[in-house]
Amino acid sequence: MKKTILFLMLICTVALLSPAQNLLLKNGTIYTFDRGILKGCDVLVLNGKIAKIAQNIPNPKKITEINLSGKSVIPGIIDSHNHIAISGGVNEVAENITPDVKMEYQVNPDDPRIYYSLTGGVTMNHAMHGSANPIGGENYVFKLKWGKPAEEMLERRALRTLKMALGENPKRVSDMFPNSRMGVSYSIEKAYSEALEYRKERQTFRTKLKQTPKKERFKLIPPKKNYKLEALLDTLDKKMVIRCHSYRAEETLELIRLSKKFGFKIAAFEHIHQAFRIADELSANNIGISIFIDSWNYKVEASEFSPFGLKLLYEKGVEISINSDLGEIMRRLYMEAGKMRRYAGMNDLDALKTITLNPAKMLGVDSFTGSIKKGLDADLAVFDGHPLSSMSKCVITIIEGEIYFDRTKDKYVGLKKQGGTK
């Protein structure tokens, strides 16, 4: 009952926030990647887009104006790997090759974790299939437009991504094949070989159809449509990229070999605790990583890790993004990014990129979000101090010019307990 009441309170809070897509943010410290850190600067938002970044911008139409003196403005945070806002589970375990299932079939726009994430400045999420299958389902990207229907949350401009998984998870999830790392690799290779054979059959049929007189074509029986293999062909045709759960270096290299053999693109490896061992190979193949900062030893595969390995990856030019995997960590991804200053030797802007621009590039959305630049979507997060400090907190979260979280208007955030316990 208490959870239901809190949920209704959150809905009512969002309804009270300004839906305006025109804003003038005044006198803040703006973290840009093309112009550096701009102090005492304004950001003008018109029709949900960033229209101007400069000092002393006049209010053109008496639009909503917010004074941000002493506050920092960063691009909206992007979590490149999570499993929130999904109903009914994230693993399809009936088969081990399931690229034809889509996570967007079960979007849950009422998941309260969407709102909790907004309180940490997160504006976009990559909701992924689980890691029970060597080849899992198609993931989806959405903006955290709390209070809006699922159709308005889904981000169709993003790359389509397909989940794969190596190692412990797919080989232990059930008693069926595969039960070994070599079996996982074979399962993937076999599936792509079948996809190529399926393509050959369809091409042969089309050729035969053209060569057959029109009056006789009705006698021809086309190959049965296979949605599973159609999805795999989409990855070969670069209509979809791979995001692969992986920990150990040797099996990661094996999937890179398969990607070259068949021609699918790996956009990023997830978790990848042994990435520092293959930094050269990742850099040479332009493959990013989506990782935790200092979380390891929670299972056998995760035991061989050092957060200082991130420095080697950074120096080798490997694109790094930080993910939460869990809803709780999403609220403090900015703190996780701050750790990159210590472990990887990054400056403030490069550390900030690990939760903004880098995941945006991996998801193919950097042309309209992930940085603060004229013409991009006004996806912004405002902090009351340094945006990478554990002493700071997000006070305003904006998506396409609309305020979805305002700490001053949400009386339930940070509410102090009064009158003792009950």
Whether residue 227 is predicted with pLDDT greater than 60 in this model: the reply is yes
Whether residue 343 is predicted with pLDDT greater than 90 in this model: the reply is yes
Statement to judge: residues 358 and 323 lie in one domain: yes
Statement to judge: residues 169 and 267 lie in one domain: yes
Statement to judge: residues 144 and 231 lie in one domain: yes
Q: Residue 46: inside a domain, yes or no?
A: yes
Q: What is the DSSP string of 330-396?
A: HTTHHHHHHHHHHHT---HHHHHHTTTHHHHHHTT-TTTSSS--TTSB--EEEESS-TT-TT--EEE
pLDDT in tens, 169-178: 998 876 778 8
Whether residue 84 is predicted with pLDDT greater than 70 in this model: the reply is yes
Statement to judge: residues 251 and 116 lie in one domain: yes
Predicted pLDDT at 14: 45
Q: Residue 359: inside a domain, yes or no?
A: yes
Q: Residue 415: inside a domain, yes or no?
A: no
Predicted pLDDT at 284: 98
Statement to judge: residues 349 and 393 lie in one domain: no
CATH number at residue 84: 3.20.20.140
Statement to judge: residues 297 and 274 lie in one domain: yes
Q: What's the total number of domains in the chain?
A: 2
CA distances from 219 to 202, 205, 210, 216, 222 (A): 16, 12, 13, 6, 10
Selected residue with higher pLDDT from 133 and 14: 133
Predicted pLDDT at 88: 84
Statement to judge: residues 309 and 375 lie in one domain: no
Domain boundaries, position 271: 77-369
Predicted pLDDT at 20: 58
Q: Residue 142: inside a domain, yes or no?
A: yes
CATH number at residue 14: 2.30.40.10
Predicted pLDDT at 286: 97
Residues 402, 146: Cα–Cα separation, whole Å: 11
- Six-digit token string for 412: 């339930």
415: confidence class by pLDDT, cuts 50, 70, 90: low
Instruction: Give me the residue label for tokens 């794969």.
Output: 164
pLDDT in tens, 372-397: 999 999 999 999 999 999 999 999 99
CA distances from 190 to 226, 229, 238, 245, 258 (A): 15, 11, 20, 19, 11
Selected residue with higher pLDDT from 19 and 394: 394
Statement to judge: residues 40 and 81 lie in one domain: no
Whether residue 196 is predicted with pLDDT greater than 80 in this model: the reply is yes
Residues 244, 258: Cα–Cα separation, whole Å: 13
Statement to judge: residues 60 and 153 lie in one domain: no
Residues of the chain with pLDDT > 70: what percent? Answer: 92
Whether residue 8 is predicted with pLDDT greater than 80 in this model: the reply is no
Residues 321-337: what's their mean pLDDT? 92
Whether residue 39 is predicted with pLDDT greater than 70 in this model: the reply is yes
Taking the CB of residue 342, how many other CB atoms lie within 10 A of it?
A: 15
Selected residue with higher pLDDT from 60 and 168: 168
Statement to judge: residues 397 and 385 lie in one domain: yes
Statement to judge: residues 325 and 253 lie in one domain: yes
Whether residue 7 is predicted with pLDDT greater than 50 in this model: the reply is no
Instruction: Give me the residue label for tokens 């550096």.
Output: 36
Q: Residue 421: inside a domain, yes or no?
A: no
Predicted pLDDT at 200: 97
Q: Residue 261: inside a domain, yes or no?
A: yes
Statement to judge: residues 64 and 81 lie in one domain: no
Whether residue 328 is predicted with pLDDT greater than 60 in this model: the reply is yes
Residues 130, 175: Cα–Cα separation, whole Å: 18
Q: Residue 163: inside a domain, yes or no?
A: yes
Predicted pLDDT at 414: 57
418: confidence class by pLDDT, cuts 50, 70, 90: very low
Predicted pLDDT at 15: 42
Contact yes or no for 139/98 (Cβ under 8 A): no
Whether residue 207 is predicted with pLDDT greater than 60 in this model: the reply is yes
Predicted pLDDT at 159: 98
Predicted pLDDT at 413: 65
Predicted pLDDT at 18: 46
Residues 103, 407: Cα–Cα separation, whole Å: 31
Whether residue 5 is predicted with pLDDT greater than 50 in this model: the reply is no
Mean pLDDT of the chain: 92
Q: Residue 420: inside a domain, yes or no?
A: no
